Amino acid sequence: MKPRTTALATIALLAPLVLTAAPALAQDQLKVAIGQINNWENQAPTLGQDAGIFKQHNLVLENVGTQGAGETMQPVISGSADLGAGVGVAGALRAFTRGAPVRILLPAFTGTGDLFWYVKADSPLKTVKDVTASNTIAYSTSGSSSNNLVLAFADELGVKAKPTATGGPPGTLTQVMSGQIDIGWAAPPFGMKELKEGKIRILIRGSDVPPGGVHSDPGAQEIAGPRPAAPSLPGNKYK
């Protein structure tokens, strides 16, 4: 199933499940923290809100963007957000095993083939074999899918560059183009314009890591925290 199709299916599943958990006489509000809110695969909450899908079920979403899964986990754990979206499986499970009051609700998409790492068009780095320990490679935040993949590049592909947290794709691009970072990261639709204009080149893709790699991430999920408004999913296979 394509990522966007899966995301829209998630919308259809989430709305009635929340509704059955707490029947609403008026519109209920849920605050959703979304890692990389403008990435295609993370737009289910915003698209559903704009299309009026949640309104049909007396739900209003307050969607808030974060710099990555690491930042997304914090408001969910603290209770300042009801749901988190775009959180990798590895990050969610890591928080759970450390005692954080979170649980996986629904899968958003499968795989990490949407993520890619790029260099400036005139960079001397042509393949991963050209990357050395003197180079830097970007990821968003600690515990994010991009972080796990950068670690996997080292273990599975032999990439020796120094992992460096750069936040979201816009800030990362600025650092790459200014020479602060050698290898940046992004996900569609960000970076498509620069690729088309020949300003950047893709060096590594998330799909380059073999399935089941040491730090590979199966995909992004929606997670719930301790707030009472968070939905209950008795039939969910992750519960």
Model confidence pLDDT, tens digit, residues 108-164:
666 667 889 999 999 999 999 999 999 999 999 887 888 889 999 999 999 999 999
Choice between 233 and 88, residue whose per-residue pLDDT is larger: 88
Q: What is the pTM of this model?
A: 0.61
Q: Which three-class secondary structure state does DSSP give residue 206?
A: helix
Is there a common fold for 3-111+218-224 and 116-208? yes
Q: Where are the domains of the chain?
A: 3-111+218-224, 116-208
Q: What pLDDT sits at residue 235?
A: 34
Q: What pLDDT sits at residue 170?
A: 92
**What contacts 24+ positions apart, CB below 8 Å, involve 73-79?**
73/100, 73/102, 73/143, 73/223, 75/31, 75/33, 75/225, 76/33, 76/102, 76/223, 76/224, 76/225, 77/101, 77/102, 77/225, 77/226, 78/225, 79/225, 79/226, 79/227
Q: Mean pLDDT, the chain, as a whole number?
A: 79
Q: What pLDDT sits at residue 108?
A: 67
> Quick check: 8 pLDDT over 60?
no
| Candidates 3.90.1150.10, 3.40.190.10, 3.40.630.30, 1.10.3720.10; CATH matching 3-111+218-224 | 3.40.190.10
Q: What CA–CA distance (Å, rounded) separates 23 from 45?
A: 20
CATH number corresponding to 116-208:
3.40.190.10
Q: What pLDDT sits at residue 104?
A: 79
